[in-house]
Amino acid sequence: MIDIHCHLLPGVDDGSKSWEMTRAMLRVAAGDGITHIVCTPHANDSYPYDRVEHLGRVAEAQAMAGEWPQLLLGCDFHLSYDNIQDALAHPRRYTVGSTPYLLIEFSDFGVAPGVLESVHRLIGAGMRPIITHPERNATLGKNHEMVLRLVELGCFVQVTASALTGYWGDGVRLSTEQLFKRRLVHVLASDAHDPERRAPRLAAARDAAAKLTDGATAMALVEDNPRAVIEGRPLPYLPDPARAGA
């Protein structure tokens, strides 16, 4: 399985706090059957994003991991005015590896007006946005019509693995199940921050997704689609979203 959203690198954001913690996260991921991890440090007001520095840490983490899991660099890209301007000027500064895929995190405090326009501009500049954890967002979690509009605009949707297995509570789990019903989920990822509570695991969520859909779809969410992301190819599993009430 391939995890495209993981705060594995130590000391760069609110994820891993030390190399020891990173080592433990690598062990958990490997034990869960994860073969590739995209390291996705935050880029926001609290955590500036330095691609060169992060790449150095990815190389160190890879040396620690050995051959597996294989590591790449991405970004948990906060959708702020400054970030958008910088990404438009440097379209590969924040994407997954050298691909056009860009993980986009919306503000926890809601979705600002003009968001669709901003996302449209990023797509126009050649990026392929993947909206992270709408099920945990104050606005998107309740407004799946907005999620649908983002998908129709050309975005993909990444749901948190642990949202499906109940870590975030019933409200978030139900929102996740609704997103599945509306066929608005393209990738499951861990969004891991540590080796225990928010750990890099996908197997339990894959099994939960298989119950909601079927085995092949669940595998597409943790294997086929995320592999296409890290290889910069079009996603092979592209569900046709269900309209409201359908």
Three-state DSSP at 76 gives strand
CB-based contacts of 70, cutoff 8 Å, min separation 6: 35, 36, 37, 62
- The correct pick among 3, 76, 194, 223 for binding Fe ion (CB under 5 A) is 76
Least Å from the CB of residue 246 to Fe ion: 31
Nearer to Fe ion, 3 or 191 (CB): 191
Three-state DSSP at 31 gives helix
**Cα–Cα nearest to 129, from 83, 168, 163:** 83
How many angstroms separate the CA atoms of 226 and 79, rounded?
22
How many angstroms separate the CA atoms of 200 and 95, rounded?
20
Edge-to-edge order in the sheet of strand 2-6: 2-6, 36-39, 70-73
191 near Fe ion (CB under 5 A): yes
Least Å from the CB of residue 14 to Fe ion: 9
H-helix or E-strand spanning residue 163? helix 161-164
Nearer to Fe ion, 139 or 213 (CB): 139
Least Å from the CB of residue 172 to Fe ion: 15
Nearer to Fe ion, 62 or 160 (CB): 160
Least Å from the CB of residue 5 to Fe ion: 6
Q: Judged by CB under 5 A, which stretch of 143-151, 179-187, 190-198, 220-228 contacts Fe ion?
A: 190-198
Q: Judged by CB under 5 A, which stretch of 68-76, 117-125, 135-143, 163-171 contacts Fe ion?
A: 68-76
Nearer to Fe ion, 8 or 150 (CB): 8
Residues forming contacts to Fe ion in the complex (CB under 5 A) are: 76, 191
